[in-house]
Amino acid sequence: MSDAQATIQKTVTENDVVLFMKGDKMMPQCGFSSRVAGVLNFMGVDYHDVNVLADADIRQGIKDYSDWPTIPQLYVKGEFVGGCDIITEMTLSGELDTLFETNGVAFDKEKADQVRAANA
């Protein structure tokens, strides 16, 4: 296992929710990362962000780790959930709420409902 793979493995196992993204949760550097971080921030999810632009080995390593070609990538309890389109769909369908509830991840249900209402 490469150093990048070991770092990624450690990060996703030591944090309940991890978002590998371009930029960080306070200043995303692409629209897709901004959308996912925005949803998590609005819903009050406590998550660890990893700026893949700061480390080329991590940027490529996360794609290899998940066998998923794009950034952002969301992990919950060590499991890869998906990228922007999947997270958007899961948010709007309520599946993301269920995933968080099942895994004991705190979030603001009222805020999640507001996101769905605004996009209905």
pLDDT at 1: 66
51's CB contacts (< 8 A; 6+ apart) are 21, 22, 23, 24, 29
Answer for the pair 73, 64: CB distance below 8 angstroms, yes or no: no
Is 30 marked within a binding site?
Answer: yes
Q: Tally the domains of the chain.
A: 1
pLDDT at 45: 98
pLDDT at 68: 96
Which residue type sits at 63? Answer: K
Domain range enclosing 89: 3-118
pLDDT tens, N- to C-terminus, the chain (120 residues): 689 999 999 999 999 999 999 999 999 999 999 999 999 999 999 999 999 999 999 999 999 999 999 999 999 999 999 999 999 999 999 999 999 999 999 999 999 999 999 988
pLDDT at 2: 81
The CATH number linked to 8 is 3.40.30.10
Quote the CA–CA distance of 107 and 31 in Å, as a whole number. Answer: 23
Pairing of strands 79-82, 73-76: antiparallel
What's the pTM? 0.96
Containing H/E element for 63? helix 56-66
